[in-house]
Amino acid sequence: MLNQIDLSRIDLNLLVLFRVVLEERHVARAAARLSLTPSAVSHALGRLRLLLNDPLFLRTPKGVVPTARALELGEPVAEIIARVERLIGSAAPFNPQTSSRRS
């Protein structure tokens, strides 16, 4: 199939990083929120730029400014993350005392 994307080769944590950088508009502050180094955030943004074929954020003396494409992606990315959080959050906790599972 033409233009089929192999999600197994994509780090979906890049979406979380994208959202935080978009909110903070500053790589170092985003890094602090994510418990990463600014260098790690910059390298991850580089991978995301290649993946999305857009610079996404432009450096300024006061931080970063999102491109039009980054602004366009902001809401869909936030929705995807919220859906994953709801999906994971809805899982019942495992209780070994009441479980009928066998190994």
Closest by CA to 63, choosing from 28, 14, 19, is 28
* Residue 29 pLDDT class (50, 70, 90 cuts): very high
Q: Residue with structure tokens 């790589």? A: 27
Give the predicted TM-score (pTM) of the model.
0.83
* Per-residue pLDDT, 9: 81
Which stretches within the chain are classed as H helix?
13-24, 27-34, 38-52, 68-89
- What's the CA gap between 69 and 74, in Å, rounded? 9
What's the average model confidence in pLDDT over 63-79?
Answer: 98
Backbone phi and psi for residue 6, each to the nearest 5 degrees, phi listed first: -90, 100
Considering just the CA atoms, what is the radius of gyration of the chain in Å?
17
User: Are 46 and 54 a contacting pair, CB within 8 Å?
Assistant: no
